Amino acid sequence: MRRFTALYLAVFTLLITVSFVGCAKQEKTGLAKVKEAGEVSFAMSGGYPPFNYFNKQNELVGFDVDVAKEVAKRLGVKLKPVTTEWSGIIEGLRSGIYSGILGSMAATEQRKKVVDFSTPYYYSGAQMFVRTDSPFKSADELKSKAVGLVTGTTFEQDAKNLGVSDIRLYKDDTHTLTELSSGVIDGVITDRVVGVNAMNSGKFKIKPLGSPLRKEDIAVAFRKEDKTLTDEVNKILKQMHDDGTLTKLSKKWLKVDITKK
């Protein structure tokens, strides 16, 4: 009987020890998890020039990419960029597939219910774009027209607020602006800076229509349980604002400073 009791105690102790070690590993979240891995993974769509996109050499480049590189550098870890469909990017974050989303995501009240956001690293707004030969004078005139936008973006609500009856959803803005320029759709709602950059590139025959529909704070998204990482990135973003790094990167990619409110 004593042998069984001793054996039982030994097994019980072993199970408690294993369970404790397992829990200790699982408890590592946020900054501690990133430091232990030696890398931080930031997700983005990869189809949102000039913020994050693949160049002719199939390299992921852009304003967001450079910001992510600098944040990783100041965290003291390597950057692991992840490209994924925008429509499921938040669920990927909540599942722990990557550390954060640094891909020009607007910090909306609805999104704040499920993820946390850093302080903004730039400011922008929603803008309606039409073809250069378009007869439209205001965005209200496109209510009964075909308007394109990227799936999973806040621009869908802007279209609904305008009363647009024919909303076309696309994978990224390369597709929306190509469809607009070729006459398949009548308008596109996207980030104002993205649209102006596309217009200035000479690849698309488009122009902004009227004033921005709405202003947005663009920030880095994190899981709610990773507050230590959010706090550390906030410190880094403040440094990057204060020392002019964000301004420098903005002017490099956009020719203007969009980092000031």
> Do 211 and 233 belong to one domain?
no
With residue 128 as reference, give the H or E element that holds it. Answer: strand 122-131
Q: What is the pLDDT of residue 260?
A: 87
Q: How far apart are the first and last CA of the chain?
A: 75
Let me know if 157 is exposed, middle or buried by CB neighbors in 10 A (0-12, 13-18, 19+).
middle
What does pLDDT average to over the chain? 90
> Do 226 and 119 belong to one domain?
yes
Q: What is the pLDDT of residue 233?
A: 98
Residue 49 lies in a domain: yes
Q: Is pLDDT at 179 greater than 90 in this prediction? A: yes
> Do 129 and 208 belong to one domain?
yes
The four Cα atoms 16, 22, 25, 26 give a dihedral, to 10 degrees, of -110
Stated length of the chain: 261
> Do 38 and 117 belong to one domain?
yes
pTM above 0.85, yes or no: no
Residue 89 lies in a domain: yes
> Do 150 and 21 belong to one domain?
no
Cα three-residue angle 45-180-162, rounded to 5 degrees: 85
90/223 Cα distance (integer angstroms): 9
Question: What are the tens digits of pLDDT across the range 52-73?
Answer: 999 999 999 999 999 999 999 9
Q: What is the pLDDT of residue 18?
A: 45
Number of structural domains in the chain: 3
Residue 259 lies in a domain: no
Look at 43 and 29; give whichever has higher pLDDT: 43
Domain that holds residue 50: 30-123+216-254
Question: What are the tens digits of pLDDT across the range 184-228?
Answer: 999 999 998 889 889 888 899 999 998 889 988 999 999 999 999
> Do 118 and 128 belong to one domain?
no
Residue 191 lies in a domain: yes
156/250 Cα distance (integer angstroms): 26
